[in-house]
Structure 1
């Protein structure tokens, strides 16, 4: 008995191309949508973490209030992270509104790497932020400016508050001075400097706090733990201003070798114009790092 063999054809090239085009169209639609979904979920997770951080921060500050210890020092950030049960980190300081007894602003970097900025007075209180927008030093300067303005408005410091007093507030508020990262010690002579350097904030003004026209950072050997030497006797090895690092151009040599020499910066108080800062630092003996 003979069997009929059917003639089975495969896809033609045109049909294959059409199929591939259709798959490409679906992929072009689906992949961005899926990527957007993942991004949205990531942002949602980061904001959820930040909400826990705000709640824990609020509890920590209210506990200080209950113990009559509510000052500009602020709560322990490590304890707040532990209380919230999150694995992220704070980016900068926590600002507490003592009039409303609520957390005012904070920035939190979630476990997934996204930064969330919280502002109780904003229409949208939790906003995903580009954490690379400001460098750590720029953040430090901005925190100092905000704290200085807050203390002045609340009447905790008057217009002629000393820079040492404001340094102490910043030290306490931020749980210590910011250590100078070794990447800023570019001169070979810094290899011979055994002491750790720390950044201390300094406001520029000849007219008091309300007349401040800028802030900079000076790097000294003082870690701020000695309340009588918050400024490291104004002996700076580095200065940070307007995105630039100025390092001492002076050295001293002894039996142990050649070391960088500090430069006295107490005369910074005489600067009256932001345009004069660069030339003034150069005249003191600093040089811009290349």
Structure 2
């Protein structure tokens, strides 16, 4: 019996290996970019919550002519799980993340405030993501955990 090449259907082993190699190269390029994009999306939690703290502090100031020193004063409560720990001072914190330090400059006085957030969004131990917002609504990224890996 003789088989002709015209009747054979399918792919050769070489063709399949080339396709697998191309998929591997594309994955090697795409995965790090995806992880960086995912980490930047996680930073939106800090930005949104610090903006909410700013709004709560401004509302409190409008009513009492001074800024609140506690989250209970300004009636800001974070609900759900969190990647960040939020600070109004060294002693006033909220969140479930442990072992994080207070960002520099976090303080509340009767005429100004700076609230902060610290988180470890990429689960490394070398750097933490630190954000602050002040009474002028200046949002600052003190340490960018995404770019410092």
With normalisation by structure 2, the TM-score equals: 0.55
Which of 79, 86, 90 does residue 78 from structure 2 map onto? Answer: 86
Q: Which has the larger radius of gyration?
A: 1
- 1:30: how far off? 1.6
Q: Is the 8 A contact 1:116 1:127 kept in 2?
A: yes
- Distance in 1, matches of 2:61 and 2:115, equals 13
Unaligned 5+ segments in structure 2 are 90-105
Instruction: Find out whether 1:117 has 2:131 as its counterpart.
Output: yes
Which of 99, 111, 115 does residue 106 from structure 1 map onto? Answer: 115
- Where 2:7 maps in the other structure, the secondary structure is coil
- 1:43: how far off? 0.7
- Distance in 1, matches of 2:69 and 2:134, equals 18
Q: Is the 8 A contact 2:131 2:142 kept in 1?
A: yes
- Distance in 2, matches of 1:50 and 1:43, equals 11
Q: Is the 8 A contact 2:129 2:143 kept in 1?
A: yes
Q: Is the 8 A contact 2:88 2:108 kept in 1?
A: no
Q: Is the 8 A contact 2:53 2:115 kept in 1?
A: no
Query: 2:45 maps to which residue?
Result: 45
Instruction: For 1:196-235, list aligned pairs within 5 A.
Output: none
- Distance in 1, matches of 2:112 and 2:88, equals 18
How big is the alpha-carbon RMSD for the aligned residues of Structure 1 and Structure 2? 3.8
Unaligned 5+ segments in structure 1 are 132-290
Q: Is the 8 A contact 2:118 2:129 kept in 1?
A: yes
Q: Is the 8 A contact 1:117 1:127 kept in 2?
A: yes
- Where 1:90 maps in the other structure, the secondary structure is strand
Instruction: For 1:24-39, list aligned pairs within 5 A.
Output: 24-39=24-39
- 1:58: how far off? 2.9
With normalisation by structure 1, the TM-score equals: 0.32
**TM-superposition CA deviations, 1:246-282 (whole Å, max 9, x none):** xxxxxxxxxxxxxxxxxxxxxxxxxxxxxxxxxxxxx
Cα 1:84–1:5 change in 2 (3 A) is same
- Where 2:11 maps in the other structure, the secondary structure is coil
Cα 1:130–1:36 change in 2 (3 A) is closer
Cα 1:129–1:86 change in 2 (3 A) is farther
Q: Is the 8 A contact 2:53 2:76 kept in 1?
A: yes
Higher relative contact order (CA 8 A, sep 6+): 2
- Where 1:86 maps in the other structure, the secondary structure is coil
Query: 1:57 maps to which residue?
Result: 57
